[in-house]
Amino acid sequence: MTPIPVLTTHALIAIGYAIPLLFAPADFLWLYGAEPDLDALHLARLLGAALVGVSAVTWLAREAPEGPALDAICFGLALGSGLATLISLGHQLLAPTAGLLGWSTILICAGLSGAYGMLWLGRAARRATPPPVTAG
Domain extent listing, the chain:
3-126
Residue 81's closest CA among 105, 56, 50, 46? 105
Say what angle helices 99-121 and 68-94 make with each other, to 10 degrees: 150
**pLDDT per position as a tens digit, 70-99:** 999 999 999 999 999 999 999 999 987 778
Task: Give dist(CA 13, CA 104) in Å, integer.
Answer: 12
Instruction: Tell me the CA distances in angstroms from 55 to 32, 69, 71, one per residue in order.
Output: 22, 17, 17
Instruction: Tell me the CA distances in angstroms from 110 to 77, 87, 93, 104, one per residue in order.
Output: 11, 11, 16, 10
Q: Which residue has the higher pLDDT, 57 or 136?
A: 57
- Which residues fall within 8 angstroms of residue 64, CB to CB, at 6 or more apart? 3, 70, 73
What predicted TM-score, i.e. pTM, was given to this entire model? 0.86
Output the CA torsion 43→44→50→54 (10° steps): 150
Give the model's pLDDT for residue 105.
94
With a pLDDT cut of 70, the percent of the chain lying above it is 97
pLDDT over 70 at 131, yes or no: no
Task: Give dist(CA 60, CA 8) in Å, integer.
Answer: 9
| Vertex 55 angle, CA 52 and 59, to 5° | 145
Task: Give dist(CA 51, CA 13) in Å, integer.
Answer: 9
Of the pLDDT bands very low, low, confident and very high (cuts 50, 70, 90), residue 119 is very high
Average pLDDT, the chain: 93
